[in-house]
Each structure stands twice: as C-alpha cells, then as structure tokens.
Structure 1
Amino acid sequence: MFIYYGIAALVIIIDQLTKWLVVTNMEVRERIPLIDPYLSLLSHRNRGAAWGMLEGQMWLFAIVTIVVVGGIVYYFQKEGKNNPLFAWSLMLLLGGAVGNFIDRMVRGEVVDFVSVLVPVINYDFPIFNVADASLTAGVILVIIYLFLDEKKNKKDKVA
C-alpha cells in the first residue's frame, strides 16, 4: 500500500525539482528549443488554474485542493488498495494536485515550462509542467479504469 504513496511522492519530487531548475536557471519567458519548433522549455508563471482561469483566487485553489486530496486518499483507502490501475491513477492525481498546490502556497503562482506545438494543426498547446502531466495521466487512467470496471460488471451480471 505504501508503495502507491511513493508514486505520488516521486511525482511531487520530480515536479518540484524541475520547477526549481526552471526558476533558478531561466528568466521568465526565456525559451530553450529542444525539438524546434515543436518542443521547448519556456519559463512561464500561471497565477490561475488551467489556461490561466480564475487568476488570483488562491483561497479557492487551497480549499479545492484540500477537498480533492481528501477525496483521493479516501477513494484510495476504500477502493484503490485492491486495484492497481485505480491506485496508480489516484496516486498520479495526488502527486499532481500536491505539486501545483505547493507552488500556489509557496510562490503564489504555478511554474510552467513545457511548450508543445502540435504540427499537423499548428496548435500551440498551453504550457504545462510535470504536475499537470501527472494530473492528465491520472484522469486518463481513471477513465480507463471506469470503462474496464463497467465492462467487468456487465460481464458479471450476464454470468
């Protein structure tokens, strides 16, 4: 069971380490091309939620994050311990939520730094960080888990 919390801890450590590297080694708006022009490091700060929504509402983010973290821990204890896919998804969500929460509480803003240009449609994807990627992966895994669980439940009802 504690190995799963280690997943969340690892996400938080990698997230905070990468953000620290960006803050200490790059100026805001500085860009370092990795695969030009499709992938680069771009030092950016976000005082809101996804895509800058609700800028400056730190009290709201604090309350929502505390409730979400409580919900994640509850569902992990209730359901996740016995289901590896669900446990992984919850711990990725936990690590991502806590990683960005630390930024909001310590810095008053979230450090973003991964910039992606989607080539086929020439779409400049919103800048993100390790915590955001972890949250996205966690949501995708929850959806997969729910889909598989529903399929299993239908199969069990037929049998």
Structure 2
Amino acid sequence: MAEAERITGTPGNGPEPGQGDGGETEQGVAETGASAAPRGRRRIGALLLVALIVYLLDLGSKLLVVAKLEHHEPVQVIGTLLQFEVIRNRGAAFSMGEALTIFLTLIAAAVIVVIFRIARKLYSLPWALALGLLLGGAFGNLTDRLFRSPGVFQGAVVDFIAPAHFAVFNLADSGIVCGGILIVLLSFRGLDPDGTVHKD
C-alpha cells in the first residue's frame, strides 16, 4: 500500500506551506516591504529648529529697532551703502499692494499650512533647512500682520534693513528669499522632500 502511494504521488506528501513557491513569495513580499520603507529618519525636528531660530531673530530684531530706532535718523552701518531705518510696510515687497494687507495675511497663513503638509513626508535635511527658513520668515511677518497696528490682519510689517538703491526689508524677508532660492536649487537637482532623487 505504501509503495502504491509512493508511485501514484498521493496528495499531502508535497512541499509544506511556506516552502518552495510559497516561501519564495513570502520572501519577495518581505523584500518589497523593506525597499518601500523610508530611508533615514524624518527631519521635522530640523525644520522646526531652523524656523524657530529665524522667527526669534526676526522678532528680537524688530522689537529692538522699534524701541531704539523708530522716529530717529537712520543709523549708518556701512556708510550710505547699508543703513538701519525703521519703516512700517502694510504691503508686500517694495511696499506694493498696501491695500491688500488682509489678502497677504491669508497667503502667509496658507504657506504655513502647505509647509506643515509637506513636513509629514520630510526626510531630506536640505529640504528641512529650506522649509525652515521659509516657515520662520512667514511666521515672522504674519506676527506683524496679526498684532501690530492698525489692527488684526491689517498690521504693518516692520522693515529696517536699508541697502542703498534697494528696498527696505527685515530678517523674515531674508529667510523667505533664502528658503525660496534653496527650494529652486533642490528642485533643479531633482531632490524631493522625501529624500529621493528623480530624473526627468
């Protein structure tokens, strides 16, 4: 009887589950899962640290120049090439759009929301630096829009860095511009916020 079962190949004597083809399938799934896992660790902490430093530097510098320099003659830092002069700006860069203060406030808030959405899949340190500069600058100017006169959503931004033949700006503006330039460079190099590199 046993000989007959051996010759006919009775079901049940084949490979156990998990062996042969089944084992290879499970191994493939495991390898796929490993390759799909994010590389490195998330960089939200770095983003928030950079944003906090930019925000505190901007806020502290504005409080200082308003207390010491507003309603005074400009202070020459490098002769007439660079001066500190306090200006209240209700518009965007170059004082454009002064009648759109509420709209500019909403844009700044929207930028902050978008940055936090991107941060959920942020694994690239250069992107964390860029977004941190952008976030800190946006928060800095948004604070002015919300809490400075003439009122909530209509506050004037404090600008005080006055290079010759150029617009007056502040440290928040510098953070936004530097962050934007870095984002453009990272995009040209094909580096995504999740740390992967794509080629067009």
Q: Tell me the equivalent position of 2:127.
A: 86
Q: Tell me the equivalent position of 1:120.
A: none
- Structure 1 residue 112 and structure 2 residue 153: aligned? no
Q: Aligned partner of 1:116: which letter?
A: P
> SS state of the match for residue 189, structure 2?
helix
Q: Unaligned stretches of 5+ in structure 2? A: 1-43, 149-154, 192-196
Post-superposition shift, 1:39?
Answer: 1.0
How does the TM-score come out when normalised to structure 1? Answer: 0.85
Larger mean Cα displacement after TM superposition, 26-35 or 11-20: 26-35
CA contact (8 A) 1:12 1:99 kept: yes
CA contact (8 A) 2:46 2:125 kept: no
Match of 2:198 among 150, 153, 159: 153
Match of 1:61 among 98, 104, 110: 104
Post-superposition shift, 1:29?
Answer: 6.3
Structure (1/2) with the larger strand percentage = 1
Q: Unaligned stretches of 5+ in structure 1? A: 118-123
Q: Tell me the equivalent position of 1:139.
A: 180
Per-residue deviation, residues 88-133 of structure 1 (Å, max 9, x unmatched): 111100000010000111111000011112xxxxxx1100100000
Higher relative contact order (Cα pairs below 8 Å, separated by 6+ residues): 1
Structure (1/2) with the larger helix percentage = 1
- The runs of at least 4 aligned residues of structure 1 exceeding 6 Å deviation read none
How does the TM-score come out when normalised to structure 2? Answer: 0.69
Post-superposition shift, 1:149?
Answer: 1.1
Q: Tell me the equivalent position of 2:69.
A: 26
- Structure 1 residue 99 and structure 2 residue 146: aligned? no
Larger mean Cα displacement after TM superposition, 24-33 or 39-48: 24-33
Match of 1:70 among 94, 108, 113: 113
Who wins on radius of gyration, i.e. which is larger? 2
- Give the length in aligned residue pairs: 146
Q: What is the aligned-residue identity percentage?
A: 34
Task: Provide the alpha-carbon RMSD of the alignment.
Answer: 1.6
Q: Aligned partner of 2:159: which letter?
A: D
CA contact (8 A) 2:46 2:128 kept: no
